[in-house]
Structure 1
């Protein structure tokens, strides 16, 4: 039989971890899947994490080499592995804390990819997650230059061009936590990052692991050292591609800083079929220490939405109307589009500053006062972002502080680099407060017109645009309560929704990168 044509030569790097020393079955299955590939592997490098326990296969040969490894110094171990490798490509399998098993056509598949993409730097693929012996197909997102989040899933099997790795200095030993993030970004600057997708039964490998429910606050719980390293990795990437904004660059003075307004602030509340929440939100506005404010409620469920009737009670002639409280305006639309609702509210507003308030959240009593004072302290501040506590609304209507989540301050923000770091974190904080003149200047909030946007991230693109032209003011004391409840949009989000949301914000990041490159060229 004629030997199959190969477009590249391949080596494989994998782990023999401390847990593998206790139970070798997972590692043995992975090693077998590598050895039994339909295309022959040039060399297998085993990174052994056990100082005293040597696996039975620890016999060095031309095909298999065992190297000692400390996971805290992974870059050094991978670079030593590359010194042992003479092949065109290497597959790094991240099986340190989860069992992995390749399909026996894995190399055959990526070999075609090597043929198709002459400038390939890295290749990753969809996989099956095996939970309780049941496979769940994990479909990953296609790479583009807006994929700047450090927590995006690229899987656990990575094909690298050894030539491409060498051109970026291989793996950086100075990186402790974000090694794959750093390597991926560096490679993406010069080479293609290729993804092989799965429709069904087309995953290239299996991962044996236990999943967990998605928590929208996960990125906030990462250690500060991890966050700082991710910021450094991203910042250096932005510098290399020309998208880095230097401290103080391109800041302007706010428009209409001396104009007259009927109110100092307009609190805009978009809402859809939440009469049971709107009362709490409104009361949090009525209790503000600064009284020269108004409320604009935008009900986007049409006139039949029961929230309309509830809001009417707080207007002149209503049973709960109080002339001594901030006035309540009502806008009704029959299109459930949060960005549209915000824009309609802005058009109705008579205040100088827009203050965010979601219909199921609450403002602290001093929120507006603190926001206005910060704006008044610097005419170049184009947005003020506060800090918030996370609360849980129980089924009996009581509110309980979620103590396991600390006050969300986003204190990773710095005046010098915050707007660059904004490109990799999933949120800027709350509440977000913006001069209405700036919202109008930058053409309002998104209205689900960005690809994949579905009532998500409607102000993220606007926040990035503002940060490119104005200073961002931060309030690190909590002035807002985010309320979680069973009907919330962030409650038990499934993977399809997570992916769609990530697609939306990553596209906005892509646009931001392109804008910032152009800003630096001017």
Structure 2
């Protein structure tokens, strides 16, 4: 049987299709209605109201894989049709840490009906019914990807990757995000990975540093932007001594010469060209953090960006002492090169709460900027030697034991331009990034499960 879910009662009938009226397409009540109406061994759900063209024996292939693997949920790669051109859109493997509510399964899901009927739905959600369904299925069943292009779909969201990155912090999506957090938190409690709001304290007086803070800028080939970044640091007004590490990862566009010129004029600048030639952004950070002259607090600034005023560094350091935290994350304003605001404007991550922020951090795709760390803890954790997700991985690991401080006013300008590393990524690049972050979440999830077990 085929059911068409509608939210309006005046939808005309369709041949060989039953109309099913629902209040909300993505709510818990809709999920329950689907489960109640499902009477066959498998239930196929199409979540988008777009044209789908099934490939040769596609449903048979879905069912065959589902049966052979005893999967609770099966999904596949697919083709996208844009302007009548068919392009392959591979998906990625589902991992235990694939907790993002925007994980891309494609448009066609095949559920094991018996597995769905065994589920208990204790909460009623307006927006998060399918997210709740997927997480509940994953608790006792396998989620299996078929690495084959089994159908074609018409693409409806044609924004560049860089424009989609911040959907989860858009204030217009706030109600949805609150629900998603509840769903994820309940899941973490069920699987034994939820961390109670109990944090390790820090004695800042135990550490002995010549400098109170160090700003760290890893850079490679940013001749257009590095001067602005450096100047925004040097003009900082503080009640303490600080320095600036610029870790120059073998630039060849004139960046090195610009940094050298600044370093000759200001003794606070430490210009490092690493001996190693296999370093990503994380590795460059490690070079500075483990340097003898690194300050008590290591503060981030990207080579594209600028601090918003001369008080940024002081505000960040104050927050460490005010709240006894091992890391501080600020907020930033999205701008163009003229510092004119771009949508969505201020990225402040107000979804964070002191009590549950580190649990919800496993669901969202980023944690904000600028980031700053208590150096002894950062030296212990160490930053992954990669150029994407290294910051996310580090904050997750630190938050497992320590509280994270937040500043909700913009502390820097994030300047978007064609040179940004995430401005217009290909599907393959986006998949690589998403797979890596899911892998990081998986590592962290397992570590948290172990920590929870050890405290029982």
Offset of 1:328 from its aligned partner? 0.6
Q: Distance in 2 between matches of 1:386 and 1:56?
A: 52
Say if 1:235 and 1:74 are closer, same or farther in 2 by CA, change over 3 A. closer
Alignment-derived partner of residue 212 in structure 1 = 159
Q: Distance in 2 between matches of 1:391 and 1:361?
A: 10
Choose which of 106, 110, 117 in structure 2 pairs with 1:155: 106
Choose which of 262, 270, 274 in structure 2 pairs with 1:314: 262
Choose which of 331, 340, 343 in structure 1 pairs with 2:272: 331
Choose which of 232, 247, 253 in structure 2 pairs with 1:284: 232
Offset of 1:110 from its aligned partner? 1.7
Q: Distance in 1 between matches of 2:233 and 2:105?
A: 44
Secondary structure in structure 2 of the residue aligned to 1:164: helix
Q: Distance in 1 between matches of 2:86 and 2:2?
A: 27
Offset of 1:401 from its aligned partner? 2.2
Q: How does 1:324-473 map to 2 (within 5 A)?
A: 327-333=268-274, 334-348=277-291, 349-364=293-308, 365-379=310-324, 381-393=325-337, 399-442=338-381, 444-448=382-386, 455-473=387-405
Q: Distance in 1 between matches of 2:250 and 2:84?
A: 44
Alignment-derived partner of residue 92 in structure 2 = 141
Aligned: 1:126 with 2:77 = yes
Offset of 1:425 from its aligned partner? 1.1
Say if 1:47 and 1:273 are closer, same or farther in 2 by CA, change over 3 A. closer
Q: Distance in 2 between matches of 1:175 and 1:46?
A: 21
Aligned residues: 445
Offset of 1:496 from its aligned partner? 1.4
Contact 1:340 1:446 in 2 (8 A): yes
Choose which of 15, 40, 44 in structure 2 pairs with 1:91: 44
Offset of 1:81 from its aligned partner? 4.1
Q: Distance in 1 between matches of 2:306 and 2:258?
A: 17
Q: Distance in 2 between matches of 1:193 and 1:94?
A: 17
Higher relative contact order (CA 8 A, sep 6+): 2
Contact 2:79 2:89 in 1 (8 A): yes
Alignment-derived partner of residue 82 in structure 1 = 35
Q: Distance in 2 between matches of 1:73 and 1:195?
A: 22
TM-score for the superposition, normalised by structure 2: 0.92
Say if 1:78 and 1:312 are closer, same or farther in 2 by CA, change over 3 A. closer
Secondary structure in structure 1 of the residue aligned to 2:347: coil
Alignment-derived partner of residue 194 in structure 2 = 244
Alignment-derived partner of residue 296 in structure 1 = 245
Contact 1:93 1:157 in 2 (8 A): yes
- Structure 2 unaligned regions, length at least 5: none
Alignment-derived partner of residue 166 in structure 1 = 117
| Structure with greater Cα Rg | 1
Say if 1:65 and 1:441 are closer, same or farther in 2 by CA, change over 3 A. same
Choose which of 489, 493, 505 in structure 1 pairs with 2:437: 505
Choose which of 172, 175, 186 in structure 2 pairs with 1:225: 175
Choose which of 14, 17, 20 in structure 2 pairs with 1:67: 20
Offset of 1:116 from its aligned partner? 1.0
TM-score for the superposition, normalised by structure 1: 0.81
Q: Distance in 1 between matches of 2:174 and 2:448?
A: 27
Say if 1:217 and 1:95 are closer, same or farther in 2 by CA, change over 3 A. closer
Q: Distance in 1 between matches of 2:443 and 2:74?
A: 24
Say if 1:229 and 1:260 are closer, same or farther in 2 by CA, change over 3 A. same
Contact 2:35 2:117 in 1 (8 A): no
Q: Distance in 2 between matches of 1:45 and 1:520?
A: 43
Offset of 1:483 from its aligned partner? 1.3
Say if 1:81 and 1:515 are closer, same or farther in 2 by CA, change over 3 A. closer
Contact 1:388 1:430 in 2 (8 A): yes
Secondary structure in structure 2 of the residue aligned to 1:460: helix
Offset of 1:49 from its aligned partner? 4.3
Contact 1:99 1:209 in 2 (8 A): no
Say if 1:260 and 1:57 are closer, same or farther in 2 by CA, change over 3 A. same
Offset of 1:111 from its aligned partner? 2.3
Secondary structure in structure 2 of the residue aligned to 1:254: coil
Q: Distance in 1 between matches of 2:83 and 2:294?
A: 58
Q: Distance in 2 between matches of 1:479 and 1:84?
A: 52
- Structure 1 unaligned regions, length at least 5: 1-42, 59-63, 394-398, 449-454
